[in-house]
Homo-oligomer: A and B are copies of this chain.
């Protein structure tokens, strides 16, 4: 029998000595559970992703010293194998590798470098690391042959993409168990993908696998943990999501003893969003050194949802709401904010911007002999609010949150240096239709009206002009969100979601108005790229964020046909 502990910890990036301490504590627990192996996660030593820290003066030397300290710590339980992720530079000073090390009783007994580095979407590993050589890493532990891989190395067992398959090379050595360490950021369909890939690989090769994933919020990324074990029969164990855990598993004759298969479906979508945002928001706020959060409360649903989530993340006593009415604000702007903050038990400040708006208007009129109007007037109000909110942030030493959603951010329906202000945009990856759904979910799980129905039911409006409604400028949100999902995320979505969207798309693309609308939305996405460069960083929740990597000063050719990529992979026209 082999006993091993999966340690999914919330490491702090750059906190080398703290991370060593965290690992040593988990190893003590593992040893007291009788474990022969304790498994930490990818780049556990530095926290993942360390990004530019790796190039910082002296950082690698300090990482190396911390590794030696960890190695020393391993003497405490001389029979325990520690599986640890750390940066190493074994081949030359210029070649850095993303490595898995096995430590035992003060020695490094195995070192393996990740071969399939991730560089798509949120990943940037190929910027910092070189791929490791094509080798197989395994050790004889407790009479069993244990193989080791890192993240993406186990991710290509289908051998697709014409690429290298390190798992297949390892399988040729007939291991009794394969341990995969990873730092896999969470998004809506990630859990399913991980289970599918690893379960298929276990079934295909006929050996059990364990998969250890880090947990915690690191800037825009949130890691859900959910470490798991698979046998050829499927997923047989899953650790908690969004929590630190150290779980000890016992493997005998290829089966894990006393474990139960997790539910196939996992969290409901809205509950997933809630937990991911709360963890990401809490870790980001505290690690930036803030204990308090400021949110501008417009009386609309976006800021209401952000306030509810912030209250859950930091406690209502640490949240400060500010309602900033202008002459264009509806009655509900203040009264709904009052009801909301009463429900959430949050302190609310009322700070009118009427005088500010009037003063800006007088200044403009004096300069140009004409009134400030239209978009310029709307933008100015958003910026006056943004400026006042930053005064509150300064006054309370608090972090300002931006309240934009993915639909707005995607099409640029927001004011740069105004409502895009903030250190983080916690719902910036939620479509507006999902903002409604999550708000309802929060009320349902609370069993009472935390977010007032009046806020959920009112027609969305920026309230920057008389009687303004979002629907004056944008298509209805259900239509907009369908178009955005296909354009931004089409090929990344799961098959079921694609099928749903295809029907909606076919209907739209079949009419002249529909085609014109799709073209207009594409252009709005393009034209607002400059805003996303300077807007508050969003917390990632979905497979593909809106833009962010498009050239700004580029030409966008007129697009006559717009066929979603998931209609077929053939790009080649000749």
We find that the number of chain A residues with CB closer than 8 angstroms to chain B is 106
A328 lies within 8 A of chain B by Cβ: no
Are A551 and B124 CB-contacts (below 8 A) given A161-B94, A565-B57? Answer: no
Minimal Cβ-Cβ distance residue in B for A562: B57
A356 touches B351 (CB 8 A): no
Q: What is the bound-complex CA distance between A247 and B564, given in angstroms?
A: 43
A140 close to chain B: CB less than 8 A: no
- Asked if A107 CB lies within 8 Å of chain B CBs, one says no
Whole-angstrom distance between the alpha carbons of A126 and B94 in the complex? 17
CB of A93 within 8 Å of the partner chain: yes
Stretch at the interface among A233-241, A271-279, A363-371, A436-444: A363-371
Take A13-B553, A562-B57 as given contacts and tell me if A388 and B360 are in contact as well, using a CB distance cutoff of 8 Å.
yes
A367 to B350, CA, bound (A): 8
Taking a contact as CB atoms closer than 8 A, the residue among B56, B94, B387, B557 that contacts A16 in the complex is B557
With A and B bound together, what is the CA distance between A548 and B555 in angstroms? Answer: 26
In the complex, are the beta carbons of A160 and B94 less than 8 A apart?
A: yes
Residues A260-276 near B (CB distance < 8 A): none
CB of A64 within 8 Å of the partner chain: yes
Cα distance A326–B515 in the bound complex, in angstroms: 51
Identity of the chain B residue whose Cβ is nearest the Cβ of A124 in the assembled complex: B127
| A15 interface contact, C-beta 8 A | yes
Residue of A423, A573, A574 with most partner-chain B CB within 10 A: A573
Q: How far is the CB of A103 from chain B (nearest CB, A)?
A: 13
Which one of A169-177, A376-384, A464-472 is at the B interface?
A376-384
9 contacts between A and B (CB under 8 A): A12-B554, A53-B551, A58-B562, A64-B572, A93-B571, A126-B126, A352-B363, A355-B363, A383-B417
Having A65-B573, A94-B162, A95-B161, one finds 14 other A-B pairs with CB under 8 Å, namely A14-B557, A52-B550, A57-B562, A57-B563, A58-B559, A61-B572, A68-B573, A68-B574, A355-B359, A364-B395, A380-B390, A390-B417, A417-B417, A534-B534
